[in-house]
Amino acid sequence: MDGIKILVVDDEIRMRKLIKDFLQAKGFSVIEAGDGEEAVDIFCSNKDIALILLDVMMPKMNGWEVLKTIRKISKVPIIMLTARGEEQDELQGFKLGVDEYITKPFSPKILTARVDAILRRTRKTEDDIQRCGDIEINRGAHTVRAGGKDVILSYKEFELLDYFMQNKNLALSRENILNNVWDYDYFGDARTIDTHVKKLRAKLGDAGAHIKTIWGMGYKFEE
C-alpha cells in the first residue's frame, strides 16, 4: 500500500490530522481538503487518487454534493464520514454511490482496516472475464456489459454483481453477502443490501432479472 494516494476531506483540522497520521503510518500518501469545493478541485487535478474519505457536513459544498459531482466522472471508492447516524442518511449515501459509511466517533484502526480492504480489492490486476447470460464482467478492467451495452456501476455495485456471478444458482443470505462483499462484520441494517440490489437491477435493465429475491433470506443469481 506504500505511496497510494488518499484524499481526506473534512473541515475539522484536528480530524484531518488524526486520519492523516494513521494513514501515513500505514504508508499511504495523504492529500487534505478543508471544504467540498477544494475537494472537487483537488480530485480533478490528481488523476491518481485511489480513495476518498469524505465528511458530510462542510462549508461551500457538502459531502452529498461532492459525492454526486465525483460520481459523474469517476468510480473511485468513497468512504463517507459523518456525525449523523440516521438510517435515512446512510440510505441516501448508498443511493448516491458511496462505498462505505462510517459514523463519528470511530476507531482510526477500524477506519484504516476498511481502507485496506477496499484498496486490496480495487487493485487486483487479473484480467478475469466471466459471462452469464447477456452479462459480461471483466474484473481486471472493472467493467460490465449487459445486453451488449456498457453498464456504469459504483465500486460496491460491481463487487456485489461479481459476488453474485461467482456464486450463481446458490441461495445467498444477507449475512453472507455483507460479510463477503463488505469484507467485514457489518452491524448496520441489512436493508443496505436491498438498496444496492435495487440499483443494480435497474442499471442492468432486462438482465437484472437474473437476480432473484429469496423472501426472508436473501438473493440468488440464476443463470
Helix (H, G, I), strand (E, B) or coil at 81: strand
* pLDDT at res. 117: 82
**69 and 138 inside one domain:** no
C-beta contacts of 128-136 below 8 A and 24+ residues apart: 130/165, 130/166, 132/165, 132/168, 132/210, 132/221, 132/223, 133/207, 133/210, 133/223, 134/206, 134/207, 135/161, 135/165, 135/204, 135/207, 135/210
* pLDDT at res. 126: 44
Helix (H, G, I), strand (E, B) or coil at 177: helix
Give yes or no for a contact between 17 and 43, defined as CB atoms under 8 angstroms apart: no
Give yes or no for a contact between 177 and 211, defined as CB atoms under 8 angstroms apart: no
* pLDDT at res. 56: 87
* pLDDT at res. 127: 47
Residue predicted with more confidence, 170 or 104? 170
**144 and 97 inside one domain:** no
**115 and 144 inside one domain:** no
Instruction: Encode pLDDT of 61-71 as tens digits.
Output: 988 899 989 98
Residue span of the structural domain in which 113 resides: 5-122
Mean pLDDT of 111-126: 75
Mean pLDDT across the chain, nearest whole number? 84
Name residue 6's beta-bridge partners: 30, 51
**65 and 136 inside one domain:** no
Instruction: Encode pLDDT of 32-60 as tens digits.
Output: 999 999 999 999 988 789 999 999 888 88
The yes-or-no verdict on residue 177 having pLDDT over 90 is: no
| Grid cell locating 135 | 452479462
Region of poorest pLDDT, from 86-95, 154-163, 166-175: 86-95
Q: Sorting pLDDT into bands at 50, 70 and 90, what band is 125?
A: very low
**77 and 99 inside one domain:** yes
| Grid cell locating 216 | 426472508
How many separate domains does the chain show? 2
Please state whether the predicted TM-score (pTM) of the whole model is above 0.85: no
Helix (H, G, I), strand (E, B) or coil at 159: helix
Instruction: Encode pLDDT of 70-108 as tens digits.
Output: 988 888 899 988 776 555 666 666 777 788 888 888 888
